[in-house]
Structure 1
Amino acid sequence: MGNRNDAGSTTLKYFGSQLKLLRGRAGLSRAELGERVGYSEAMVAAVEQGRRIPQQGFVDQADEALDARGVLRIGASFLAQARYPSWFQDFAMLEADAVSMYLYSNQTVPGVLQTEEYARAVVGGSCPPPDDDEVERRVAARLDRQTLLTRTPRPVLGFVIEEVVVRRPIGGSAVMEGQLRRLLECSRMRNVSLQVMPTCRETHAGLEGPMVLLETQDRRNLAYVEGQRGSFLISEQDEVSVLMQRYGILRAQALSPEESVSLIEQVLGEL
């Protein structure tokens, strides 16, 4: 379920061809466009060749620099097919506009809290292993999702993560040090609640696996669940209610936000 679909790849290549056409009409080299938009020549080349999904900032700056009159901005709205695998696209759209989101993770740091280095280690460790370009596309897409943390209006975000997640040195100690510092930074955001579930717990409401609870702009409550080879959105309110009850118990069983910060600082000091 980790591969992008063919339609997404075609969309990305088409977007790149339009960027190249507009750049040519403007009489700019890749290096010159990169200087104007604040990105490297290599980045411009990667987007034009359909090897890299452009971040929104790149799209906005390029549209203005090339006098595209919104053509690139409109085209970028269709890049979700390329940005995310097909099984994740619906959730990604809902997540971007969520009023609130509550997440339980038992294996890795949640994507919206990951550093670039940690994300690259997670994606690069997938099986079967993705090629370098695919790793870069997935990492860029994951980092783009992190606008959720700071967009206006701010959503209410809650995270419960297992203690093993903050102790497992994915990517090595240096990568993990940066990731733990990022968790501490996020824990200080007023709209974020971060809790750690201690391994020593004798009772645990989340033994059936990770989950995400999401509230949409129109006040619908949805749930999202991923497994080894599939994922699905849950909209039936009876089922969503069960998962909300479980998450409530999880938060009660986990360390408090203050205790969680202390544990993360402890682990950081042990690296």
Structure 2
Amino acid sequence: MFQKQTGNKEDRMVARTRELNPFGSARDLYGKELRRHRENAGMSLDRLSEVVNYSTTHLHGVETAERLPLPPLSSKIDAAFGTGGLFEGLWEIIRREQFPDRYRRYMELEAQASLIQVYCSQLVLGLVQTADYAYAVLRSGSPRDAVEKIDEKLAARIERQDILKRPVPPHLWLILDEAVLRRPVDGPEVMKAQLDHVLSVAQRPDVVVQVLPFASGAHPAMGGSLTILTLANGTEAAYMEGSHTGHLEEDAEAVRGFRLSYDLIKASALPPDESTAVIKTAMEDYARCASPT
């Protein structure tokens, strides 16, 4: 038998509050700390909603670790409670938790890199993906995930692109296999916009974009994508990624072998100006496909 709900919306939310495990995840710790600071301040969820301009439902989801505290919520909570960056710091940990274990050390090194050199075999690099393209990639890779989960992954990916928006961003050397240009992810309009964004990024003085044409034949990284990260102290790391696998290599001798592979790919790629022409040709083909007949 169904029982009639009584009380206001916030009362019903409190009744559904689940037990958090702050030692199990940063997401739970964030929720517990938010609830603690809010209650210590004598503030209701409705009142906090007015202060930070987020819905009561969303804030309840964050407190119960059922929703991600996506930016700029954390900075607003720090300002509301005077917590001096506590919640922004917790968000950084949560953000890393959204990625599988094999990516986390890579992300730490990527954040420290002064030079990022990437060969993409099938997809545009995540750091330069448009939101529409990224959503299509994430959806195809996780077809069983709920829309909310895909949205969370998308937000985390787009935020990661802030690396290229720093006052002193890392230098980016991007080599795209011709297959990347010709694989129509989510249709011609999305692809045309994505390639246009790649060309826009390529205009930056700290970015080089090349295309590895089909005509170049066999090369050392035909099994997947390859990234070489160079830190400010000259230390290098290599990351090899397939469709469902990833391997980070930090041993200097092994990295030298991957560095050679990347250099050989670079030598076979088209010069930047010719690469731009190839990308524009692909864009024109997508534009024709998108035009009504």
The two structures have a TM-score, normalised by structure 2, of: 0.79
**CA contact under 8 A between 1:52 and 1:136: conserved in structure 2?**
no
Q: Share of identical aligned residues, percent?
A: 27
Q: CA RMSD in A?
A: 2.7
Confirm or deny that 1:237 pairs with 2:255: no
State which of 118, 136, 143 in structure 2 corresponds to 1:103.
118
Confirm or deny that 1:83 pairs with 2:91: no
**CA contact under 8 A between 2:52 and 2:76: conserved in structure 1?**
no
Could you tell me how far 1:64 is from its partner in structure 2? 1.4
- The answer for the alignment partner of 1:167 in structure 2 is 182
- The answer for the alignment partner of 1:133 in structure 2 is 148
CA distance in 2, matches of 1:221, 1:84: 22
State which of 225, 239, 259 in structure 1 corresponds to 2:274.
259
Which segments of 5 or more consecutive residues in structure 1 lack a partner in the other structure? 1-5
Worse-superposed segment, 215-224 or 50-59: 50-59
Confirm or deny that 1:11 pairs with 2:26: yes
Using CA pairs below 8 Å that are at least 6 residues apart, which structure has the higher relative contact order? 1
Q: What is the SS of the residue equivalent to 1:88?
A: helix
State which of 184, 192, 203 in structure 2 corresponds to 1:188.
203
Worse-superposed segment, 57-66 or 250-259: 57-66
Structure 1 stretches (4+) deviating beyond 4 angstroms? Answer: 6-9, 39-46
Which segments of 5 or more consecutive residues in structure 2 lack a partner in the other structure? 1-20, 287-293
What pairs with 1:30-179 in structure 2 (closer than 5 Å)?
31-35=49-53, 44=59, 46-55=61-70, 57-127=72-142, 129-179=144-194
If you compute each CA radius of gyration, which structure gives the higher value, 1 or 2? Answer: 2
Q: What is the SS of the residue equivalent to 1:174?
A: helix
Letter in 2 for 1:214: L
CA distance in 1, matches of 2:244, 2:149: 19
CA distance in 2, matches of 1:68, 1:257: 48
CA distance in 2, matches of 1:120, 1:136: 8
- The answer for the alignment partner of 1:3 in structure 2 is none
> Cα–Cα, structure 1 residues 171 and 244, in superposed 2: closer, same or farther, change >3 Å?
same
Q: What is the SS of the residue equivalent to 1:102?
A: strand
The two structures have a TM-score, normalised by structure 1, of: 0.85
**CA contact under 8 A between 1:34 and 1:44: conserved in structure 2?**
no
Q: What is the SS of the residue equivalent to 2:270?
A: coil
**CA contact under 8 A between 2:22 and 2:32: conserved in structure 1?**
no
> Cα–Cα, structure 1 residues 48 and 114, in superposed 2: closer, same or farther, change >3 Å?
farther
Worse-superposed segment, 238-247 or 66-75: 66-75
